[in-house]
Amino acid sequence: MRALIVIDMQVDFCPGGALAVAGGDEIVGAINDLMPDFDAVVLTQDWHPADHASFADNHPRAEAFSTVQMPYGPQVLWPRHCVIGSAGAVFHPALATDVADLVIRKGFRPGIDSYSAFFDNDHATPTGLAGYLRDRGLDDLTFVGLAHDFCVAWSAIDAARLGFAATVIEDATRAIDLNGSRAAARDDMRAAGVSLA
Ligand code: VGL
Ligand code: ZN
């Protein structure tokens, strides 16, 4: 059974948002059109408390888009985005959210980020998504959404490592592309056994 996993199609990741991905809004129609082809649709929602450790402005003297060492490894510091309950955290208004069976929120623990839909950035704290998918027999996963080189890539790589079939439809993603992160994410996905369609 096949699930479409729509990653972080939120206002803050679209043009005009706090962490805008170039062309992020262009993919909404394609994503909506894909939904009826799947047995299940899951949406993820980046969902950070105001004191979240991934926000540059919570680190004195740190600049946005710099990298710091956290107890769980390197972490890019981002502009404040997707704050719980804020207008930027809602889904893009044109996204067909009614079709979704599940919305999985991630990044809600103040001290740790969560790019992947499956684990926090320690690669150990689960979101519960793997159990949900396995319970429903959803073993073939297709990833779309934002951003290609962060949350989409980390999710697809974790899916492959967990034993799911994992495909990314690249036309239905857009990348942040920070210091070559798009090319690196493509290499990492291929190496993990993710199909790039
Ligand atoms: C994302 C950076 C920070 C993403 C989320 O959805 O790719 N990137 N939070
Ligand atoms: Zn985030």
What CATH number does residue 120 fall under? 3.40.50.850
Residue owning the nearest CA to atom 1 of ligand 1: 151
Residue 53 CA to residue 128 CA, distance in Å, equals 22
Q: Please give the number of the atom of ligand 1 that sits closest to the Cα of 78.
A: 3
Residue from 5, 8, 21, 112 whose mutation best tests the ligand 1 pocket (most atoms within 8 A of CB): 8
Residue from 116, 146, 150, 168 whose mutation best tests the ligand 1 pocket (most atoms within 8 A of CB): 150
Please give the structure tokens belonging to residue 188. 């990492």
Q: What does the mean pLDDT of the chain come to?
A: 98
The verdict on residue 22 lying in a domain is yes
The verdict on residue 61 lying in a domain is no
Residue owning the nearest CA to atom 8 of ligand 1: 150
**197 CA from centroid of ligand 2 (Å):** 25
- Burial (CB < 10 A; 0-12, 13-18, 19+), residue 136, is middle
The verdict on residue 66 lying in a domain is no
pLDDT level of residue 117 (50, 70, 90 thresholds): very high
Q: Any residues with Cβ below 6 Å from ligand 1, and which? A: 8, 13, 46, 78, 115, 146-147, 150-151
Secondary structure (3-state) at 113: coil
* Integer angstrom CA distances of residue 84 from 49, 108, 164: 6, 8, 30
Q: What is the DSSP letter of 86?
A: S
Structural domains of the chain, count = 1
**65 CA from centroid of ligand 1 (Å):** 12
> Would you please indicate which residues are annotated as catalytic (active-site) residues?
8, 106, 151
The verdict on residue 176 lying in a domain is yes
Amino acid 129: pLDDT: 98
The verdict on residue 113 lying in a domain is yes
The verdict on residue 138 lying in a domain is yes
Q: Please give the number of the atom of ligand 1 that sits closest to the Cα of 145.
A: 6
pLDDT level of residue 18 (50, 70, 90 thresholds): very high
Q: What is the DSSP letter of 64?
A: T
- Domain residues for 172? 2-48+91-196
| pLDDT 10s digits, 133-190 | 999 999 999 999 999 999 999 999 999 999 999 999 999 999 999 999 999 999 999 9
91-120: buried (b, 16+ CB within 10 Å) or exposed (e) per residue? Answer: bbeebbbeebebebbbbbeeebbbbbbbbb
Mean pLDDT, range 50-57, rounded to an integer: 98
Mean pLDDT, range 35-62, rounded to an integer: 97
The verdict on residue 65 lying in a domain is no
